[in-house]
Amino acid sequence: MVNKILKVEYVGKLLLRIGIAIYMWSVVLLSFQLDKDKLWLAAVMAILVIIPGLSLLHYRNARTGLVGGIGTFLFFLGSAVILIVTDLAANLPWSMIYLHIVKDLLLMIGSVILIGESLKEMVREKITAPFPKKY
């Protein structure tokens, strides 16, 4: 019974990582357009493509997953701030602002869950590591 519950949790977190990565990649593909005159935009695009990949590498290295989780948290935080500023400037009703922001807030919470998973895995690796040899 417990093994099945842990398996459901594992699959859920795996799907959360994959879903966040696909969402971030779709934001890059649909939002940014490559312009030869704006090299900095290409750098931002490259970073936004790499961050979800780092998050997915959690299963190879927990530290890499931690960096990816922190990057996704910062991405959704920045996205929420940008949406608030642009929605307020456009004088949208509060209900629309809420609907735009709630998605990013939920994805930020998901990022915190993934950061916690990576930290838990790092602690588990440290606890189960063999003792160093004395010379």
pLDDT band at 34 (very low <50, low <70, confident <90, very high): low
Say what the pLDDT of residue 35 is. 66
- Going from N- to C-terminal start, the domains of the chain cover 2-128
Q: Average of pLDDT values for 37-50? A: 82
- pLDDT surpassing 80 at residue 47: yes
* Alpha-carbon distances, residue 37 vs 32, 34, 41, 43 (angstroms): 14, 9, 9, 12
Say what the pLDDT of residue 7 is. 92
- Contact between 66 and 94 (Cβ < 8 Å): no
What is the pTM (predicted TM-score) of this model?
0.83
pLDDT band at 37 (very low <50, low <70, confident <90, very high): confident
